């Protein structure tokens, strides 16, 4: 399987909520065939009743949860405030069928859609029209500081390969299926050391950050490759072990950084323009929110937008 295939699968994964990508994140998500063609537009149009209806996952920090504690919750609330609209959320786990059951689903006994805005998809997502990107991030390597695995001081993939073969051979890697680092693992004869994690477990109570908060912290694995926002957030919030998250740079044949946008239905052009305007006008505020969650932010050249010396990120 080529790196391009892995990248494409990774993009689809992020779009469905992991990303790791939950990563993302051209884009033929597994759910595409199930979600069919484009629905007829809402006669009233998004926002005609001054309500911003967003589609979000109820248990997927740092992105969103029912307590409105995720950065996507915060950004949606910012947009609603600036519009002077009420904010309503349709909750559905970001699994196969997410778009069908949210953005394309109508309210019972009504022509109105359940929600009008998905707050996190890869740019170019085929199942909807994507807005201007509102952040650009990368995968990260995550490990526990001071555990004696030889990882202290590792700042990238080259540092991993520079470890003594005997030391490197003892490491247990946590990797999500469809991760773009899989090809790198294959090229460097590390596949036998992988503990595989499913992007979509089917259990709505599970969330991608468990790979860090539970398995990495407990020593079940020695390091993990995860989507940067997940890495940065759980590096800050895992209390049982000192977590280090190292954002990774893309290399020849290996794309590790991605643009993330929002999504609306293809026919809602005026609404898309409104959201584009909100993103553009509030980019500094959006970046500040993302920084609070430890999201590694990159420019289009893959360079950090700001110093990455923050809690958990060397």
Q: What is the pLDDT of residue 199?
A: 80
Q: What pLDDT shows up at residue 205?
A: 80
Calpha distance 99→126 (Å, rounded): 11
CATH of domain 3-29+44-134+257-292: 3.40.190.10
Instruction: Please write the tens of the pLDDT for every residue from 123-157.
Output: 999 999 999 999 999 999 999 999 999 999 999 99
Answer whether 214's CB lies under 8 Å from 207's CB.
Answer: no
pLDDT for 6 equals: 42
Q: How many CB atoms lie within 10 A of CB 302?
A: 16
Flag whether pLDDT at 4 surpasses 60: no
> Strand 59-60 relative to strand 64-65: parallel, antiparallel, unpaired?
antiparallel
Confidence of residue 44 (pLDDT cuts 50, 70, 90): low
Residue 35: pLDDT over 60: no
User: What span, in angstroms and rounded, lies between the C-alpha atoms of 113 and 134?
Assistant: 24
**Residue 64 bridge partners (DSSP):** 60
Angle of helix 283-292 versus helix 71-83 axis, rounded to 10: 150
The CATH homologous superfamily of the domain defined by 139-247: Periplasmic binding protein-like II (3.40.190.10)
Higher pLDDT, 110 or 77: 77
Helices (H), the chain: 3-15, 32-35, 71-83, 98-101, 157-161, 165-168, 182-187, 210, 217-218, 228-237, 269-281, 283-292
Give residue 288's pLDDT: 97
Q: What is the mean pLDDT of residues 175-202?
A: 92
Would the CA dihedral through 265, 270, 275, 277 be positive or negative?
positive
CATH 3.40.190.10 spans which residues of the chain?
Answer: 3-29+44-134+257-292, 139-247
**Higher-confidence position of 4 and 279:** 279
pLDDT of residue 25 exceeding 60, the answer is no
Q: Above 90 in pLDDT, residue 192?
A: yes
Whether the predicted pLDDT of 101 surpasses 70: yes
Q: How far apart are the first and last CA of the chain?
A: 33
* DSSP output for 164-196: -HHHHTT--EEEETT-TTHHHHHHTT-GGGEEE
Among 16-30, 50-64, 77-91, which is the least confidently predicted range? 16-30
pLDDT in tens, 267-307: 999 999 999 999 999 999 999 999 999 999 998 888 887 54
Asked whether 75 and 118 are in contact (CB, 8 A), the reply is: no
Phi then psi for 112, rounded to 5 degrees? -80, 140
Mean pLDDT (the chain, rounded): 86
Q: What is the pTM of this model?
A: 0.86
State the pLDDT at residue 75: 98
């Amino acid at each position: 399987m080529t790196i391009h295939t892995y990248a494409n699968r990774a993009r689809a994964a992020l779009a469905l909520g992991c990303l790791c990508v939950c990563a993302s994140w051209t884009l033929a998500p597994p759910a595409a065939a199930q979600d069919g063609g484009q629905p007829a537009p809402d006669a009233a149009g998004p926002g005609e009743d001054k309500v911003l209806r967003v589609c979000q996952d109820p248990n997927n920090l740092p992105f969103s949860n029912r307590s409105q504690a995720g950065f996507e919750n915060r950004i949606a609330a910012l947009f609603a405030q600036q519009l002077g609209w009420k904010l309503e959320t349709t909750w559905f786990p970001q699994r196969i069928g997410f778009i069908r059951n949210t953005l394309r689903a109508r309210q019972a006994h009504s022509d109105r859609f359940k929600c009008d805005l998905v707050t996190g998809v890869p740019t170019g997502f085929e199942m909807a029209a994507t807005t201007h990107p509102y952040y650009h991030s990368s995968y990260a390597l995550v490990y526990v500081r001071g555990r004696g695995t030889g990882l202290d001081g590792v700042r990238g993939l080259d540092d991993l390969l520079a470890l003594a073969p005997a030391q490197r051979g003892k490491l247990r890697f946590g990797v999500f299926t469809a991760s773009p680092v899989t090809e790198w693992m294959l090229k460097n004869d590390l596949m036998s050391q992988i503990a595989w994690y499913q992007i979509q477990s089917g259990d709505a109570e599970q969330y991608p950050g468990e790979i860090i908060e539970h398995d990495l912290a407990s020593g079940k694995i020695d390091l993990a490759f995860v989507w940067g926002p997940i890495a940065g957030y759980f590096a800050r919030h895992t209390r049982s072990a000192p977590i280090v998250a190292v954002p990774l740079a893309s290399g020849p044949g290996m794309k590790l950084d991605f643009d993330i946008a929002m999504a609306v239905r293809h026919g809602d052009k005026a609404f898309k323009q409104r959201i584009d305007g909100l993103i553009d006008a509030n980019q500094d505020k959006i970046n500040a929110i993302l920084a609070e969650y430890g999201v590694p932010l990159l420019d289009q050249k893959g360079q950090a937008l700001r110093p990455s010396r923050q809690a958990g990120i060397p």
